[in-house]
Amino acid sequence: MAPLEPWEKVLIDGEVYPDSVHGQIACEDCHNGVQSPDKDTAHTNLIPNPSQDSQTYCGECHPDIVATEAHSLHSNLAGYWTVLDERSIPADHPAIEEAFANHCDSCHATCGECHVSQPNLVGGGLISGHVFQKTPSMTRNCTACHGSRVGNEYLGKHEDLNADVHFRRGRMTCIDCHQEAEMHGDYGNCEDCHAGPEMATIAPPDHRYDGVQSPRCETCHMNVTVGNDGNLFHENHGGNLQCQVCHSIAYTSCDGCHVSISDTTGNPKFATDSSYLTFLIGKNPRQSYDRPYDYVLVRHIPVDENTFGYYGEGLLDNFSNLPTWAYTTPHNIQLNTPQTETCDACHGNPDIFLTEDKVYPYELEANLELIVDAIPASIFDMTGDAQADTTP
Amino acid sequence: MSDKRYILSFILIMLLAVSISGCSQAQTGSEGTQSAEAATLDESNALISETSEATVESVVDSPEAVDEVTSTDVPAENQSADALPVETDPNYCLECHIDQERLMAVAAKEDAVASENEGEG
């Protein structure tokens, strides 16, 4: 996505915005500043992004949404701290917090960065002339941040790889699956469904792949769940394979993210050593009632022992406490994939399983629970059934 | 008979004179009102453009004082942009922010710093 010119970022639609609901509010009520023909004076104490204080500027009219914002991953970035706490020791937290403030905090998305402007992470800028959008733009908001993996996969930007069928055929946007409640951190009340004694045994979720899958494929594809669609694959694997194992194609993995401060501009920056396409099946590291699968797709995440090396040596002392290959849900779903062609596309095919030889030696310890020790045997080898090598 | 004609003519002339005088006075009064209104407007404009924040606030607090304030109340050297925040137009900012040409002329070029990140998103 090409960055906006400075003037484009602040150009207001003079025909539409003044008549909109938010256009009835005086500019200074949200943005501060003073009325003056001089630019610098007019921008005195300017608040470019008022919704950074959502309670003050949004909460008066949208109290129910602001009330749950603290639970939204877009707001609290809790996922970062889940893994950083696990990979580090408390003594190193001050240095990590400094790095976090310089590099990771920019992923924080305010109300306005979804509903009126592009995210600051990509330079900001008004989207529709300051007209607030109830539904954010898929390409200018969602994939502006979630671009190099999800966006490129979903929109089919990798050469020779189809876009996700939900986009290609259904023209579905992110919000069709990831709905308002999820975006706003309104996760509902566990006790609404778990009112009995079991309530005391349910640990609060500490990972985005904990708890009920939401969204989940079966919400729309119910016939697959009940196993009466006549598909042999679904009958045999419906419970032990994540849907994406059969219905995804190659997706992005990254290595060696490291952060620093630019010598030339003084701005925080980051770089990854490499980014490449993978398709690998691993053992499910998060097996649960809601994700009972034996096998899931895994991708290499960009974290590295020296990710925060600029801020100090050995800040990720407990680097191996978490795997570097992670349960993933690629957004490039297809009805037909190489895996759906034959049984032996997967059975007896070591190329598509995360085996020890595909893991960096210094990361073996961290990934033991995902590494596939024994490749599922070839159906053809077991039965001599030529069908196994053709369409089931 | 000639006396009567003379008296009648005198009365008609006087009536005509009185009538002309009345019209002239009415016209003069109208012009005077317009002039006063124009002066008030000029003074109001002068208030907006030339008075200090404190002066304007005092005027706003006591509107009857408007007529007493003129541009000569505030020395020119005391006038500054900082002293002009009193405007009530809720869309004041739009004057600049809907004007593409104007924004292109004044938008800060330093905002357009290229990102040095590799592998964003």
Please provide the DSSP assignment of A184-199 as one string.
TT----GGGT--SGGG
With bands split at pLDDT 50, 70 and 90, how would you rate the model's confidence at B10?
confident
For an interface test with A, give the residue of B53, B97, B113 to mutate (most A CBs within 10 A): B97
**Has residue B78 been placed in a domain?**
yes
Q: Provide the residue range defining the domain that includes B20.
A: 2-108
Give A269's strand partners. A260
Per-residue model confidence (pLDDT) at position B44:
39
Per-residue model confidence (pLDDT) at position A315:
96
Please tell me the total count of domains within chain B. Answer: 1
**Contacts A–B by Cβ distance under 8 A:** 110
Whether B98 and A272 lie within 8 Å, measured CB to CB: no
Which residues of chain A make contact with B119, given a CB cutoff of 8 A?
148, 254, 257, 270-272, 275, 302
B98, pLDDT greater than 80: yes
CB under 8 Å to A51, separation ≥6 — which residues? A57, A58, A110, A111, A112, A113
B28, pLDDT greater than 50: no
Per-residue model confidence (pLDDT) at position B16:
72
**Has residue B104 been placed in a domain?**
yes
Per-residue model confidence (pLDDT) at position A359:
97
Whether A7 and B94 lie within 8 Å, measured CB to CB: no
**Has residue B115 been placed in a domain?**
no
Question: What average pLDDT does this structure show over A340-359?
Answer: 96
Select the residue of A11, A13, A146 nearest B103 (Cβ to Cβ).
A11
As a whole number of angstroms, the distance between CA A65 and CA A74 comes to 13
Per-residue model confidence (pLDDT) at position A280:
98
Residues of chain B with pLDDT > 90, as a percent, come to 10
Question: What average pLDDT does this structure show over B37-57?
Answer: 37
Per-residue model confidence (pLDDT) at position B68:
35
Closest chain B C-alpha to A119 CA, distance in angstroms = 11
**Has residue B72 been placed in a domain?**
yes
Select the residue of B81, B98, B119 nearest A38 (Cβ to Cβ).
B81
**Has residue B22 been placed in a domain?**
yes
Name the residue in chain B with its Cα closest to that of A44.
B82
Per-residue model confidence (pLDDT) at position B11:
78
pLDDT tens per residue, range A223-267: 887 767 888 889 889 889 999 999 999 999 999 999 999 888 888
| Mean pLDDT lowest among A170-184, A339-353, B50-64 | B50-64
Range list of H helices, B1-121:
2-50, 53-61, 94-97, 100-106
Contact A295, A301 (CB under 8 A): no
pLDDT tens per residue, range B14-26: 777 666 655 444 4
More confident residue, A127 or B39: A127
**Has residue B75 been placed in a domain?**
yes
A391, pLDDT greater than 70: no
| Mean pLDDT lowest among A150-159, A184-193, B91-100 | A184-193
**Has residue B80 been placed in a domain?**
yes
**Has residue B120 been placed in a domain?**
no
